[in-house]
Structure 1
């Protein structure tokens, strides 16, 4: 009990003081004192309910996912049948009624066509995503299953959450809360962002970039009436472009999508000094872009962003190296926002804002003030009770309580955690429960003294026996905290984080540190009796 090696003392004190020091930048941030710039300054971030900020709810259209899957399947089937050896000829390909259907020219190719298509429709192999039927001997019909659609929508929503997180990080904001709500909704909360317009501008952009060949056979009169030739579709020109208000017919298949982008940066055109966005493709995208431009020299191709044509330049020569430039009547701010959107990736599905609100910082400041008052009152009451009940051992419990709060804040600061209003409740709860371990230990020591054990034996046995109950109780609390974190939403998670971290700091300070201090006092004073 009395034997604590010097290295162990240094390790325990160093660990305690390091975590306690990590809490100082957060505590000094609300005072006139300034933390030195040369030192690391981990801080606890405040959640939306404390710092104020923007709250937005986004909703996706699942029908868009099914349409995109249908288009991808059509392109995949075309490529598979054309690349077969010998080539499988087909016709009358249609995507009506949410089905992909086509007719083979020869019934002798049915088996070969089936073998080429099966790898495309098997997907992950876990669920059946497409049903394949052969009607009238040569007509193939591919239909999306409900399981496949649900799986695709779920993957699209998960992908949308990652894209949203990257875009918010690009704005320079910290610790956003992004939660999926139901099947097709996403809740976004950004603390400290009082103007939601910039956030809405970023999240409202799908940033789906496409390069498609212009259909030069389309008649201008038909395009003006919205009539596209077979195999083509019409896109309107974007606002601010010279041809705003008109449309352009482009080939529906065979273009390049911006999925293979690796970088996008706002810059200026060296010739006109106009704001532009420089984009870079990965190896696969660069190869596709080079092939497209090599095979279509002296032909126009359209640059389409979110369903609107930005420009339709002529391919004067092959564009190699995987680099290209997006131009339009952009402002410098627009190119910066577009670069963030493209760099973070396109949203797998369009998201519409269905709810928005701004939370002011006044409510959070009042909550913090009242929370601090509650913590102060609770701390004073606990300290008074412990000192009155256990004397010197109560003083040790009080000092441990102070270090407990400091270490809890320090760990949250180092982990860059977010403190929410329920988190403050967790702090108050931690303070109230932090001395439970010391109560168990001190009462156990009392019992051992009443049984006639000597001072050192009573103290040692008190810590040993009480620690078992302390660890058992905190294990159950830890399990409850983990479950709250795993299955809870933002506010519940904030409470769970404080609860879980508080369990570790409470046990460490109440058991390990107080035992170190008691051992030092006993070794130095060698008392014949103790008042407890």
Structure 2
């Protein structure tokens, strides 16, 4: 009798059954997906219509409903490569330095006289002092305001540098600060784009940084690249500004501390507003589509405590005065303050459609992009092309599985049949694990599964050849089979661990399709060790206990 205890058989059977049950929904992909979408819609507050209830009933509630997510090349969707204009943030960073530097220079009025900000290029801040004799004191005061740059590669560096140019102080960001700002801008842009895409409910988008200032966005299942750009392409920078005046002259001079902004819905109307905002979108904690008192689509918003306090204080002190609601450098509304607005909440009205109000609410809720972005590349992968890829991948997998199955049966007979059963379970377990961890299947991922088919059979070949050798020296077939499995195990582990290390390196160092290949390859290795060694051993042991043969031919 083979040495294979009952408890081990029960554990192996349980794992295989659980894997089959979890992987089963993938055989009814469209039905399960329709049901999942209906459940998600209801959880988000959608009314339970008969159509939605029928869609939810497409798949039983008591059954597992995890699916393997399909990548862009299999499902179709949108591919967009954008460039983040980090130089815009450098100018904003210099803009933010001016109030502090102005206050410091005012404290030295008896030495430097008055300090005025002058116009200059976006990458420098120019300050003129009326008493050039106090330039050294002014430079020292400005330089004292520079804080250290917190970076592992820029130890000892300061935020900005200051130099004298006649009667002017020229302030520029240091290279270390520019690098730190660029990195923060890219990280923030990645997170905001990810939040915006997640708000749309799409599955497993791929959002990753490429190079110094580029972001690649791939979203399976979305209609077109234009639709994706409408979600991620807007900066959605919301702010509230005091209104100085309004004009119809597009070339009017707003003044150094003011901005000239167009009215969004009224051609030829412009507002001059103060540059400094009362409240910004960074203090926004929630925004939802709603309707105004006239039943028109609008967007309601709510600030955090600090923003709500600033908004309330301003409205209390400026009753009867207009203020501008600015979105991406356009005035979308300029109401007159009728009363103190407490509580930090309000509503944005405009000539919105329902879809525009919903999209604006999503953009505001996800946050503003820290810089403008421009599109470098965009393309749409149609669902028909994705289905063709799925069909091609399935055909390749079936051919590979069939060829390997025939070879194993011809070469190893009944033992080859046991290996084929384990091989099918191996594929099922791969899909079950991918569904559990939420992995995305791509064409390179299918290639990883096909490669796993060959690798799983390699382990069985090692075992069966070892059993052949042991049959010549061992006393009895049971002893030979046990020794074959035991002595081949170390070799199998060594071969698979080295391949698993390569898969881990591919996942860590690679991106996109390379990661998809690494995921399926790594999961395939883990599953093949389980099926090729323990499942095959259990099948051989069960057959041997049933038939009790005097000799075994492998």
Matched, 1:202 2:224: no
- Counterpart residue number, 2:28: 28
- Counterpart residue number, 2:53: none
- Counterpart residue number, 1:178: 207
SS where residue 452 of structure 2 aligns?
A: helix
- Counterpart residue number, 2:252: 226
1:303 to partner: Cα distance = 0.6
Normalised by the size of structure 1, how large is the TM-score? 0.89
- Counterpart residue number, 1:451: 473
SS where residue 324 of structure 1 aligns?
A: strand
Once residues 11 and 499 of structure 1 are traced to their aligned partners in structure 2, the CA distance between those partners, rounded to angstroms, is: 24
Structure 2 vs 1, CA of residues 258 and 35 (structure 1 numbering), >3 Å: closer, same or farther? closer
- Counterpart residue number, 1:99: 124
SS where residue 310 of structure 1 aligns?
A: strand
In the alignment, is the contact (CA less than 8 A) between 2:142 and 2:162 conserved in 1? no
Matched, 1:72 2:101: no
- For residues 60-101 of structure 1, the C-alpha deviation after alignment (integer angstroms, 9 at most, x for no partner) is 2232122222222224545777899xxx99621346232224
1:357 to partner: Cα distance = 1.9
Once residues 532 and 253 of structure 2 are traced to their aligned partners in structure 1, the CA distance between those partners, rounded to angstroms, is: 78
- For residues 89-138 of structure 1, the C-alpha deviation after alignment (integer angstroms, 9 at most, x for no partner) is 9621346232224467895975994586233x645585336333364899
1:506 to partner: Cα distance = 0.8
- Counterpart residue number, 2:68: 44
1:193 to partner: Cα distance = 2.0
In the alignment, is the contact (CA less than 8 A) between 1:42 and 1:414 conserved in 2? yes
Normalised by the size of structure 2, how large is the TM-score? 0.85
- Counterpart residue number, 2:85: 61
- For residues 445-495 of structure 1, the C-alpha deviation after alignment (integer angstroms, 9 at most, x for no partner) is 211222234333322222222111111111111121122222223222221
In the alignment, is the contact (CA less than 8 A) between 1:48 and 1:190 conserved in 2? yes
- Counterpart residue number, 1:118: 146
Once residues 434 and 20 of structure 1 are traced to their aligned partners in structure 2, the CA distance between those partners, rounded to angstroms, is: 18
- Number of residue pairs the alignment of both structures matches: 521
Once residues 136 and 147 of structure 1 are traced to their aligned partners in structure 2, the CA distance between those partners, rounded to angstroms, is: 23
Moved more, 159-168 or 138-147: 138-147
- For residues 229-271 of structure 1, the C-alpha deviation after alignment (integer angstroms, 9 at most, x for no partner) is 2311211111x2xx432211111125321012111100011x2
Q: How does 1:42-441 map to 2 (within 5 A)?
A: 42-78=66-102, 91-94=115-118, 96-97=120-121, 98-102=123-127, 113=141, 117-119=145-147, 122-123=149-150, 127=154, 128=157, 130-133=159-162, 135=164, 140-216=169-245, 220=247, 224-238=250-264, 240=265, 243-269=266-292, 271-441=293-463
In the alignment, is the contact (CA less than 8 A) between 1:129 and 1:149 conserved in 2? no
Once residues 5 and 99 of structure 2 are traced to their aligned partners in structure 1, the CA distance between those partners, rounded to angstroms, is: 72
- For residues 490-522 of structure 1, the C-alpha deviation after alignment (integer angstroms, 9 at most, x for no partner) is 222221111111111111111121222333344
- For residues 158-178 of structure 1, the C-alpha deviation after alignment (integer angstroms, 9 at most, x for no partner) is 222222222222222212222
Once residues 113 and 478 of structure 1 are traced to their aligned partners in structure 2, the CA distance between those partners, rounded to angstroms, is: 59
- Counterpart residue number, 1:18: 18
Moved more, 73-82 or 106-115: 106-115
Once residues 457 and 467 of structure 1 are traced to their aligned partners in structure 2, the CA distance between those partners, rounded to angstroms, is: 16
In the alignment, is the contact (CA less than 8 A) between 2:143 and 2:162 conserved in 1? no
In the alignment, is the contact (CA less than 8 A) between 1:54 and 1:357 conserved in 2? yes
Among 467, 486, 495, the residue aligned to 2:517: 495
Structure 2 vs 1, CA of residues 459 and 105 (structure 1 numbering), >3 Å: closer, same or farther? farther
Once residues 376 and 125 of structure 1 are traced to their aligned partners in structure 2, the CA distance between those partners, rounded to angstroms, is: 52
Once residues 166 and 80 of structure 1 are traced to their aligned partners in structure 2, the CA distance between those partners, rounded to angstroms, is: 40
The structure whose RCO (Cα within 8 Å, separation 6+) is larger is 1
Structure 2 vs 1, CA of residues 83 and 27 (structure 1 numbering), >3 Å: closer, same or farther? farther
Q: Which runs of 5+ in 1 are unaligned?
A: none
1:140 to partner: Cα distance = 5.0
Structure 2 vs 1, CA of residues 224 and 43 (structure 1 numbering), >3 Å: closer, same or farther? closer
1:443 to partner: Cα distance = 1.0
Structure 2 vs 1, CA of residues 111 and 147 (structure 1 numbering), >3 Å: closer, same or farther? closer
Once residues 408 and 152 of structure 2 are traced to their aligned partners in structure 1, the CA distance between those partners, rounded to angstroms, is: 63
SS where residue 244 of structure 2 aligns?
A: coil
Q: Which runs of 5+ in 2 are unaligned?
A: 33-57
Once residues 38 and 414 of structure 1 are traced to their aligned partners in structure 2, the CA distance between those partners, rounded to angstroms, is: 16
Structure 2 vs 1, CA of residues 18 and 452 (structure 1 numbering), >3 Å: closer, same or farther? closer
SS where residue 188 of structure 1 aligns?
A: strand
In the alignment, is the contact (CA less than 8 A) between 2:146 and 2:158 conserved in 1? no
Structure 2 vs 1, CA of residues 224 and 378 (structure 1 numbering), >3 Å: closer, same or farther? closer
Once residues 158 and 143 of structure 2 are traced to their aligned partners in structure 1, the CA distance between those partners, rounded to angstroms, is: 17
Once residues 419 and 535 of structure 2 are traced to their aligned partners in structure 1, the CA distance between those partners, rounded to angstroms, is: 9
Structure 2 vs 1, CA of residues 294 and 77 (structure 1 numbering), >3 Å: closer, same or farther? farther
CA RMSD after TM alignment: 3.0
Once residues 272 and 306 of structure 2 are traced to their aligned partners in structure 1, the CA distance between those partners, rounded to angstroms, is: 27
SS where residue 146 of structure 2 aligns?
A: helix
1:277 to partner: Cα distance = 0.7
